[in-house]
Amino acid sequence: MSLLGKKNFSLGFLRNPNFLLILWTLICAIASFKQYAISDALSGKCAYNNFRVFIYSFKHLLAHQNLYGAYPAEYFDLYHYGPIFALLIAPFYYLPIEISLILWGALNAWCLFKAIWSLPLDSHAKAAIIWISTNTLITSTLNSQFHAICVAMIILSYTYIVKKKDILGTLFIVLGAFIKLYGIVGLAFFFFSKSKKHFILWSLIWTIAIFILPMLFCKLGYIIQTYIDWYTDLIHKNGSNSDITQTRLDVCVMGMVRRITHNGTLSNLYYILPALFVMAISYFRFKLHRQVSFQLAVLASLLLFIILASTGSESPTYIIAFPGVGIWYILEKKKNILVISLLIITLLISSFSPTDLFPRSIRINYLEPYALMALPVFLVWLRLNYLMLTNQLNQVNPIVPTQAPNS
């Protein structure tokens, strides 16, 4: 075997789907166990508080209690998801906490891997997206978050729709929206559907089914009131997130502007409306809808937009954006010094800055006070939309989405 052959053989495992799936699953399982091991919930030191919020929501649902109230004896913070999530989390409630927490971390990794590996790209490209997203996945797992599954559902809604499986595609759109509103962006894939009547029909069917499913376990009046409470909670949370005196949340474009200008009254609409206009210019060029590269660019732009537009954005939620960063990099025709530099800067500031690998003084004194973690992702979003508007996307081969390994 030649030296080149040996090198290719030795590095080939870095894009092997079985290796990558096992790696991700193990990393997230270990990270979850680590959070359990360093916690002492009885003394108030709990490193997996978000997961406690999730599993106790099922208990509150069955007891017909307000899902969005404070329960300091069980957890700090509040529940902010739809009632369907409180029902679906039930299996984790009944398991021992250490087992359910590990399984939760592994499930997030498995779902996101399956979603990325379903994209119509070759194994080299999909592996690149996996590696680009790895650190943010770890950050999300250490915070016991749901966001890896959230972005997985958005990606799967796209891949199932382009595979002419609108039943499953619309399921992930509607379910994602009923769990956390981010999933509603999947409606943008409507024009990619080969059967738009089926898309509309199944969207309505899933909406009705998921809306009434919790009513099989709870009274109608309670569920209706819970949806009203959810709406009220989201309105209140959006307002409190934009408080410029705190630095954990609101790591988005307008959060950055609010902190730099010290003006907490600036609305997110100053970014959202122009951003929607820019994306619409490309989106309504219907002749491009059959191009895989264009479809992937729309998907990536939406994943970036979710984080850049949301006052709820924080370091663990950036796992939603980073598969979009990976797709952008794949869609660049020339990986020149500027493109590579932008990728490296985005990884350093928007992915690694919350970790101990990044200089703490820079993070504390500059990045957090001004929400600068959002800046590189914003630049990627601008660059991607520029490529779309100027028809400079790398034309990837229309590869049929492949099955991920079943391990």
pLDDT of the residue at 12? 78
The CA dihedral of 332, 333, 338, 342, to the nearest 10 degrees, is 10
Nearest CA-CA partner of 370 in 267, 244, 268 = 244
Ordered by start, the domain boundaries in the chain are 34-389
**Which residues, in sequence order, are CB contacts of 184 under 8 Å at separation 6+?**
173, 176, 177
Separation of first and last alpha carbons in the chain = 31
Residue carrying structure tokens 């409470």: 229
175 and 183 Cβ atoms separated by less than 8 Å: yes
pLDDT along the chain (407 residues), means of 10: 48 86 97 90 76 97 96 91 97 96 98 98 96 98 96 98 97 97 96 95 98 95 96 91 86 95 93 96 91 97 97 95 98 96 98 93 94 97 97 80 54
Nearest CA-CA partner of 329 in 364, 367, 282, 380 = 380
pLDDT of the residue at 322? 98
Q: What angle do CA 141, 147, 148 make, to 5 degrees?
A: 70
Nearest CA-CA partner of 306 in 220, 181, 402, 127 = 181
pLDDT of the residue at 4? 44
pLDDT of the residue at 175? 98
67 and 61 Cβ atoms separated by less than 8 Å: yes
pLDDT of the residue at 15? 86
Residues in a beta bridge with 40: 45
| C-alpha gyration radius of the chain | 21
Q: What are phi and psi of 374, to 5 degrees?
A: -80, -20
User: What residue type is assigned to position 189 of the chain?
Assistant: F
